[in-house]
Amino acid sequence: MRTGAPTQCLHRPLEHIIMKAYLILIIAFLSTLSYSQVDSSIYASVCDEEEMGWTLEILPEVEGGLEAFRNWIAENNKLMNSSDTLVWEQFVAVQFWVDTTGTLKDIGVIRGIGAPYDYEAFRLVSNCPLKWTPGSIRGKKISVRYVIPVRFTDYEE
């Protein structure tokens, strides 16, 4: 009678399954470690750690207010036409920084809808003659990031 052989055969496949499961868990863990390493060059450096989490006391302002800024963009938009029937309406999100002198810096499209519209939105924000006053925290002028939608509509002619 062979009583020991069948139980030995049954345990080996179970051992192999357990070993494979451990191996899969180890590989999965090691792969998450390699993906969790972040390229630090994509983040901006923070000069003063005490200012993290503080809200602005004074927001940057454009002369005439944001409504004047939007109106200037709408009036100078070369890709807008006007008629009776609206066909579509979309926007391009443009990001810029208002620096400590009130100058717009690092202007760029962060959500576009296509080449002519993206270029026009960039041109509009870059060439806007309105002056900005910088934002501040505790009396210290700081650079502040803005994102503004530049609206494009198309009407039937």
User: Do 29 and 61 belong together in one domain?
Assistant: no
**Where would I find the beta strands (DSSP E) of the chain?**
61-62, 85-98, 104-111, 132-133, 135-137, 140-142, 144-156
User: Do 142 and 108 belong together in one domain?
Assistant: yes
Examine residue 43 and state whether it is found in any structural domain, yes or no: no
Examine residue 72 and state whether it is found in any structural domain, yes or no: yes
Confidence bin at 37 (pLDDT 50/70/90):
very low
Examine residue 39 and state whether it is found in any structural domain, yes or no: no
103-110: long-range pairs with CB below 8 Å, 24+: 103/132, 104/128, 104/132, 105/143, 110/147
pLDDT at 118: 87
pLDDT at 11: 54
Examine residue 45 and state whether it is found in any structural domain, yes or no: no
Query: For residue 64, what is the domain's CATH number?
Result: 3.30.1150
Number of folded domains in the chain? Answer: 2
pLDDT at 151: 86
Examine residue 131 and state whether it is found in any structural domain, yes or no: yes
Question: What is the average per-residue pLDDT within 35-60?
Answer: 51
Examine residue 90 and state whether it is found in any structural domain, yes or no: yes
pLDDT at 117: 86
Q: Which domain holds residue 148?
A: 57-156
User: Do 144 and 71 belong together in one domain?
Assistant: yes
